Each structure stands twice: as C-alpha cells, then as structure tokens.
Amino acid sequence: MKIGLVVAPGCVVSGLFAFAELLEAANNRAGKQFFESVWVGVDLNNVLVTTGSKAMTVSISPSTTLADHSLDAILLPGFWTQGIRQVAPLLNSKQALQRALNQMPSHIGIWAYCTSVCLLAASGRLNHQVATATWWLADYVQEHYPKVNWNFTQIFERQGKDATASGVNGYLPIAQALIAKHYSQDILRDIIDLMVVPKPNNNQRLQLIGLMQLEDRLMQKIYVWTENTPATELTIKSLAQALNLTERTVARKVKANTKLSCAHFMRLIKLYQATEYLIYGSETVSSIAIRLGYSDDAAFRRTFKKILGYTPVAYRQEFKR
C-alpha cells in the first residue's frame, strides 16, 4: 500500500514522521513490507518546514506529487495555527494544495487530521459524509461546510476510502486503524506496547470553550473572570461592572468573538470547569456543584444534562482519565 505523506510549508511535520514510523514498525513486526510511505508535494520542489517558531528548519524533498495516480492514499497533516482566526488565512495560502486535492481521483483515499480537515472539507469530498474535526474548529467547519455530517464526539471517522481525525495527534488513530485492518489486532497491540502508544479511545471528550480560541485580550479577561465567579453570580451586569464597561459593549464583544450570547458563553465556561473536575478528580457531583457556585445540586445536574446530553455521573463514567 503506497501512502503519500503530504508535505507543505507550515505543516506540523512531526506527525508525518511518527505515522511513517508506526507503519514501518508494523511491517517489521509482520515480517513483510505491506506499507510504503513516500514524501508527496504539490510539485517536486524542496519544502522547508519549521517547528512553528522557526527555531528549527528541515528541508524535505518530495519523491512524487499529488498528481501521482499510483498512490493508494495520502495523509494530510495539521498546520501551525494559533487560533481560529488564522484558519481562513491558512486555507487561502494553500490554494495550490487545494486545487491538487480537488483533482484527486476517488480511488485514492485522503486522510486528514487537525486543521487539514478544513482542506478536505473544502474539496467537497466530505459532502454528505460523516466526519470529525478538532473541537476548537467545530463552529468554523459547521458554518463553512454545512453539507458535511459533522460528529465531534469521535476522534476518528472513516467513510469509504477517506478518513478524518481530530487533534494534532490525529495521525495516531489513522495509523492504528490501518495496522488493525491490514495486519491484525495482535500486531497492533504489539506496536502499541512497543512504542508506548496511547490506547485507542473511540470517544472524544466533549470540550466546550478554551482559551486557545480567544485571541482577544478582553475575551481572555471575560473567560478568567467567569471561571473565578460562582455560577449564581454570573450576570452580564456584574461582568460589565468588573470590566468597567457597559453591558452592551460586553454583550457585543462576546457575540462577535463566539457567536454566543454572553449568558450562554458564561454557562459553557462553568460547564467546561465541571467536566475537568469530573474527569480528573474524584469529588462527588454535589461537591463540584458547590465548588462552582451553583444554587443547588439539582440545578447543576439539569443544566449539565441539557447542554452536554449526559448526566454528570454518566459523563464521568464515559470520559474518566
């Protein structure tokens, strides 16, 4: 199986190396060379990739291009970004890659993870298919690619020859699925043990709002204030007073940055805090409700179930670390 590792400026190249190493380890364990990994580019020009801060730069020479129809599949890596506002400029800078993807024949599988899921969605190949994406991209991809059946509760989705995965380590579930399918579960288990790979997890922990989404300094202040304020005291009036701003200014700021009302935004932040306590701690649900400042245990449970679709106990059972 000939797999093209797509290299392009700005990509997180570490995932491509790790992916190739996992497949090579599987080949060695099986005693045969089923998987073949090759560097692929839009053209054959050398590609300079960095660690993101340009502290380290590596030159990679593609051995073939995306026009090579002898490929069985290609792997699209994530690209360096620092927040949701950089996604559109990133996609705009990858127009040559996008055109190449648009021309890929259907018999070549395209596997994308992290931010490259946006590239695959933009090509139209995910239309009317189930796909997943990194949680902080959820609002963006749903707005820009509404024809895709997004499922953010999964870290890995495969539809026919194509696949999507979430997170900068999204190459991992893709590699695991390949090894299990084309070799065996036994070989996959050995590779996992040998290379200290995290065990597969079919469910992605539902994540809500994170500071990495909020590039605006005022939004970060709103986030931190909400974290530190009891749930019963979360009102737009008290928030505006704390920031020395008008309620209208605060409401417009939150809406512009999150597309959410201020009240709902604050509610999500408190629930995100609750999920962290449920997953990483051992406090009772009642204790967590008190810690976060809810008026009573029942109110907390109702809000949690309404927004997340799980009771707090069921959420802990599903996602406990």
CB 101 within 8 A of CB 108: no
Q: What's the DSSP call for residue 33?
A: -
CA-CA-CA-CA torsion sign (26, 50, 156, 5): negative
pLDDT at 185 (0 to 100): 75
Tens of pLDDT, residue by residue over 244-274, are 999 999 999 999 888 889 999 999 999 988 8
Token pair 């530190």 is found at 228
* All domains in the chain, ordered by first residue: 2-195 (3.40.50.880), 211-319 (1.10.10.60)
SS3 (DSSP) at 261: coil
Mean per-residue pLDDT over the chain, rounded: 88
pLDDT at 204 (0 to 100): 45
Number of Cβ atoms within 10 Å of the Cβ of 169: 18
Number of Cβ atoms within 10 Å of the Cβ of 29: 17
CB 53 within 8 A of CB 47: no
Q: Is 38 exposed, middle or buried (0-12, 13-18, 19+ CB in 10 A)?
A: middle
What percent of the chain stands above pLDDT 90? 58
SS3 (DSSP) at 243: helix
Tens of pLDDT, residue by residue over 107-117, are 999 999 999 99
* pTM for this model (two decimals): 0.66
Is the model's pLDDT at 183 over the cut of 50? yes
Q: What's the rounded Cα separation, in Å, for the pair 160 and 214?
A: 36
pLDDT at 208 (0 to 100): 54
Q: What's the rounded Cα separation, in Å, for the pair 126 and 115?
A: 15
The region of weakest confidence among 43-57, 157-171, 188-202 is: 188-202
Q: Which residue has the higher pLDDT, 20 or 318?
A: 20
DSSP 119-152: HHHHTTTTTTSEE---GGGHHHHHHH-TTSEE-T
pLDDT at 197 (0 to 100): 63
Q: What's the rounded Cα separation, in Å, for the pair 93 and 298?
A: 50
Tens of pLDDT, residue by residue over 67-108, are 999 999 999 999 988 778 888 998 999 999 999 999 999 999
Q: What's the rounded Cα separation, in Å, for the pair 157 and 314?
A: 23
pLDDT at 56 (0 to 100): 77
Q: What's the rounded Cα separation, in Å, for the pair 9 and 57?
A: 11
Q: What's the DSSP call for residue 31?
A: T
Tens of pLDDT, residue by residue over 270-292, are 998 888 788 777 889 999 999 99
Q: What's the rounded Cα separation, in Å, for the pair 274 and 70?
A: 50
Q: How confident is the model at residue 152 (pLDDT cuts 50, 70, 90)?
A: confident
**Angle in degrees, CA 302, 306, 312, rounded to 5:** 60
